[in-house]
Structure 1
Amino acid sequence: MNHLVRSLLILFLFFAKSSFSYGQNASIANGRIMDSVFVHNLNLSTKIQEINDFLDHKFQSTNDSEFLVFSKFMNSYYKTKVDPQEINNLKDYVFQEYKAYPNLQARFFNQIAYTNFVGIQNFERAFDAYMLIEDILSQNGPTIITRYSYYCSQISSAYYKFKDYKRAIHFGKMGLKYAENKWDMFNTIGLCYTALNQLDSSNFYLNKAVEEAKKLNLPKINHTISQGNIGINYYHAGKFELAYPLLMIDFKEAQKFQDWGLAAGSSIPLSHIYIKQKKYKKADSLLNLTREYIQKSKQFERLEKYFPIKAMYYEEIRDFKRSLSYRDSSLKAYKYNDSVYNGLLVLRVQQRADLTKIEREKLKLQNYQEVIKIQFIAIGVVVVLLGIGYYLYRNYLYRLQRNRQRIDELKRLLNLRQRLSADMHDDIGSSLSSISLYSHSLLMQPQSPEQKYVLTKIKENAQYIQEQVNDIIWSVNPEMDVMKELVARMRKFGAEITESANIAFIFDCTEEIMDLEIEMAWRRNLFLMYKEAIHNAIKYSQAEEIKVELKFQSGKLNIQIADNGIGFDTDKIIKGNGLKNLQARAKIMDAFFQVESKRNKGTKVIIKSPIR
């Protein structure tokens, strides 16, 4: 008996499962029919009677009540075509009345999102609709929602627009599994990875988009859009020679297709490449064309990238006034776009929280109170953020003005140093050279011992003063404000003075410090400390070798000047004369200064100074 009951139960479950599978497959097929009717007749309100007859026939043949509901829905939808704002009035009705028909809800909410996003540009309502679709997808899945991959693609594009790139990638990949045409999702995912600066991942998906366009024989502009996006990646990586042909292909196809927004997206980096190549006429012409395309496409968010390139162009042609004007315009464009998208992101979170509470609690009054509370908090946060933003903006303008004044002062000082260096070299330097030459010429002639002594002193003093003047000229010359020039002078000075003293000289310097920029006063004090240390080693150490090491460690320049001479008792010598000049200069430089020495074991001078 038990065996008979078990057999009957298994048989019942088998037929029930078969019936369910058949019903599910039929529902999916019917859903695809309605998808096709909706997509192909969105704007054909004149065919409403023909559509009603077709849907009534499908109901008679399938007994699927969704065809009748869909017919009623289409009649309501066409009424909204007279006034696009009316589509929003149907949202609550569809949400409440068509809960049993998630496909129909998804179709309608997607159209609400598209109408608000592209047509009305009410981003709050658009994102509200996308959140409803996201909830429908999570509750029903691809086995019930017949355009599952398409809706994933639309949500992914919305998140990309609102700059939530990780969520955009998530939905794009979620839809890829079920899509027949994957081009749009590959392309959007690639753009998201570009925005996240993950260029290798971006190029992978963009190349997939190119392959998909070829495989499905899509219009040429689909190929060139993805190629242009790959060109953008090469452009961001600084590989202009690879970026240029791809961007140019995209640009020309966009012009041909009269997609002015797409054309502007390619022409902006192309203009930058022309500027880098110093093709200023081409850059100017293309930038003017770009501004026209942005105006035509109404994609004013592209001004955020356009203005910096325009400013760079004027800076290159030395028109600094216009360059500064476009820098300010760039700041305004960035501030506008950033505030818009941040507001939308806050609104998205608010809408999502509200919808979750409605779904879970089903208490309209409580949900309404929660919404009001969140709105007041949001308004308070927005007011605070606006106040902070205004303060930061005013502070930025103040710092900008202060920096301009400082730059002007630095330019004035730089010109003064250049003139001073040139004048001293041309006037004083040449005069001292003449004195030295004249005295040398007189010494070559017969002179009395007293005259010869005086002439020798004149020559030596002239040469000494000339050497000091050369040091001053070197110290004030702005072209010497780089570490490699200081290193070169230190090497030359040490080699020349030790050679005359018959002392071996070793100079070791790491390459990493060569391109560091340095200040005039710091450079002069460091060289004089080095010069004094070398002089002391030659004069007192009786060394056979002097070794100099320069290293860059923990943000500081580390200099060691060591000899293998007789050394000295540091306590006695330092207390005797204190090496006051070296210590005073080290204090001015905020540098560490130390002398290490022992009798008959040489001397080491250590200087550690932050780079200035």
Structure 2
Amino acid sequence: MKLLSCLRLTALYLALVTSDIVNAQIPKSLDSLETYVQTHQPTDTNYVNALLRMGNLTTRTRANYDRADSLLRVAEKVAIKLNFSRGIYQANTFLGANYYLSGRPQQTLDYLQKALAIAEANKLSPRIRANAMTNLGTAYRNLNQPEKALEIYLRSLRMQDQYAIQPRNEDTYIGVGLALKDTRRPREAIAYFQQALVLNRKLNAPYGMAITEQNIGRCYDDLEQETNALAYYRTALKHAKEAESALLQADILVNTGLALRKVKRFEEAKRAIEQALAMSSQQGNKGAMATDYFNLGQLHEDLKDYKRAEVNMKKALALANELDDKNKIAIYTQGLADLYGGMKNFQQAYAYQLEKNKQIDSTTVVRTSAEVQRLVAQYKTEKKEQEIKLLRQQAQLREKELINKRLQTNALLLGGALLLLLGLAISAWLLNRSRLRRLEEAQALRKQIAHDLHDEVGSTLSSISLLSGMVNSLIAQKRPEAVERAIQKINTDARQILEAMDEIIWTINPGNDSLQRIAMRLQEYAQPLMESKAISFTFQTDPALADIPVSMEVRRNLYLIGKEAINNLVKYSEATQATVRVTRLTDQLEMLIEDNGRGFDVTKPRERTGQSSMQQRAEAVGGSLDVQSAPGQGTRLQLVVNP
């Protein structure tokens, strides 16, 4: 039983905003900070800032959580004595980060809620309050509440928009990406991680780059694209080493080992996880050690080295029992049952399977009991609310009856009957009209799908049919070069059909009726093309796009215009830099595509740019398309439409 996804949950990924203390008088290394604290008196804010930095570094670089906790609590006491509100806020933020990394999610939530309350009560800067919201979102995600986390992350983004905070908080984008990944939307998550990566690169922050690159790798891992995942893990590991974070290096090595195991590169996977285990052991992180031992055990099982597999899995189970981690105990017990089953030692397999079932039953009973109590309490509350509502309604009805009793006449009854008949007639007319409109829309959709299939697929299938018929003849004529060309053409045509079908299906899917979905699909289309031409590419989207619905026709034409423009840019511009921005202008949408390429003379007709086709599509949805370019000065394409 290979529960890689369950095992991966044991490695936490820090998305907390732990902004460093900016003060030239305070040292940056731990040793220098130790000397500073010992030689200064706790009488000013510099002393508080030194303790804060010291506690934060102790958490992030040495994973000494108890020592960090002591330092941060002293910093909070001194900050309270000095009435240093920002110091109090940062002490609680760093305490939350410390509990986050030491695996105590409820304490993490408590301290980060307190930090946000302090920031709001003391009216700290909008940037600090937005950061505090991002931190709180991470705490909810750590408690397996991704929807609540996503709601708070988006609140933070809206505040950053409201106050035009620059640069944007890269950890907010990381948080949105993690929440989307937790809800099994890895492709959407990658778009937010890419934005976070751009911000971290601008800040030259190796720690942030390592976290972001690792999470992009995890998304590709979820998509079963292990080559891409491993490439991002390699880059992430390099940046984690630059940041001197042993904890982060160990996390990345574990993920690298799991990805290598999926592609059956077992020896490389074993070396990666052994390195992670060495780091976890050096830090004394028993939870991480348990995960590493179990992963090593599964790797040895894959290599048919059952003795080492047994030893490592038993070490993992012993650590899980020591930590009283019921989730890990259940997973590791099941792993040992599977191992003994593979070894034909059915007595031991049966014993561990029974133990695993007992663990599952125990945790299920606790969870079910809590859920029942919650539902009963909710039911009682709702029942009382319904009773109160019913009593109010009855009182209102009695009052109305007393007022209206004298006014009820046959004329009013007749008028009511006439109004009822009129209402029924109008309702029937509106219903028929609505049905007719839906039929017309369905007919138009059918015609559009038929037209697209004929244009995009019909001619290509005919080409494949003709080429397939030629292959046997060419083989009989012993013309291998011609056979190879024909097969290559068939492969190319088949890929085009798949792409065309994917676009048609995407276009008619009502789940894609938002501008945010269009922007994400364009980014997914553009990114690999830009990378293939070594073009430095930036894709920026307005978070407000998620609230704007669009029709199928507008969505399709927007996507095709953007796709055509990006194709032209990649093929003909010879650019080194390119930018795509999709923003909301009051009640309009603007898509801007710019490059620093060779440009062209817009007054001269060009056959291959498809400019006339893009112009027609823009006019078809009531929009405007403006193309500005000149030889040697790049190209700027601006599309404005009413969504």
TM-score (norm 2): 0.37
TM-score (norm 1): 0.39
Report which of the two structures shows the higher radius of gyration computed on alpha carbons.
1
